Amino acid sequence: MAKAIRANSAINKAMDALRVAAYSGDLDVTKCMQIMLTSEIALDLYENRGKVQSSPTPDAPTKVKGANDPNGGTIGGNKETKKKKAKYNLDALYTKEFMQFWNKYPNRKAKKVAAEAWSRMDPADQGLAMRDVIDLDRPSKDPKWTEDDGRFVPMPATYLNQRRWEDAWQAVGAPTNATAEWIDGQGPEAPQEPPAAPEAPPEVDQGNLF
């Protein structure tokens, strides 16, 4: 505050001296230089009031791509590392058996989700799913799956998670009588023959009883 008052006072005095010199005609070069110098000093004091000079902050170290990062990994190489890991994880999920199942399944959507469901299954259940889809050719023989361009075919992950290979389904073209071929996930069953009727007891000649 005191600096501002002094600066304002110096500016006023310099301006007064300049006006007096102008009116009196006594305005030589020396006095003009003194008045201008006084005004500049006062103005500088006023404009820089309250400012505190601070030491310049050191520049942050430049990070070099591929250099070691203190937090782990390499600087600038994290994206490439993540891509490699993602590709490795997918290769591990897409096993030979899963790809055989996937290539035969008609509704091939959400492959990664289906592969994750497949990886959680027991090998025995994987074999049953492959038998249902590949060996029994359910995609082309189940009328529900062939109806309306496969509209009712479940998503592959749903098929696996809900154990849909255990569903009973009737093959296309199978007879509709009591001996129709039905598939229940364990393979077709042979039709059961009705049990034989019991034999009638032999007739007894009533005349020979006496």
Element (H, E) at 139: helix 138-141
Does 33 share its domain with 97?
A: no
- Does 57 fall in a domain? no
What is the residue-averaged pLDDT of the chain? 73
For range 162-189, the mean pLDDT: 68
Percentage with pLDDT > 90 across the chain: 35
Same domain, yes or no: 88 and 177:
yes
Q: Is residue 155 part of a domain?
A: yes
> Could you give the CA distance from residue 150 to residue 71 in angstroms, rounded to a whole number?
51
Cα–Cα distance for residue pair 92/98, rounded to 1 Å: 11
* Residue 190 confidence (pLDDT): 42
109: domain range?
A: 83-183
Q: How far apart are CA 181 and CA 185, in angstroms?
A: 13
Residue 178 has which token pair? 């009591």
Contact criterion met (CB below 8 Å) for 48 and 83? no
Q: How many residues does the chain have?
A: 210
CA gap 133, 177 in Å, rounded: 25
pLDDT per residue over 133-161, tens digit each? 999 999 999 999 999 988 999 999 999 99
Least confident of 35-39, 151-155, 165-169, 187-191: 187-191
Whether 54 is in a domain gets the answer no
Helix (H), strand (E) at residue 89: helix 78-93
Task: Identify whether residues 152 and 98 lie together within a single domain.
Answer: yes
**If DSSP codes are grouped into helix, strand and coil, which group holds residue 19?**
helix
43 and 91 share a domain?
no
Stronger pLDDT, 197 or 105, i.e. the higher one: 105
pLDDT higher than 80, residue 175 = no
Q: What is the distance between the alpha carbons of residues 41 and 142, in angstroms, rounded to a whole number? A: 98
- pLDDT tens digits along 96-119: 999 999 999 999 999 999 999 999
Task: Note the pLDDT of residue 125.
Answer: 97
Q: Phi and psi of 169, rounded to 5°? A: -145, 150
Looking at residue 4, what is its pLDDT? 61
Domain membership of residue 141 (yes or no) is yes
Pairwise pLDDT comparison (203 vs 125), residue with the higher score: 125
How many domains are contained in the chain? 2
Beta carbons of 132 and 165 less than 8 angstroms apart = yes
Residue 75 lies in a domain: no
Q: Can you tell me which residue has the tokens 């509209």?
A: 151
Please report whether residue 56 resides in a domain: no
Q: Are residues 105 and 30 in the same domain?
A: no
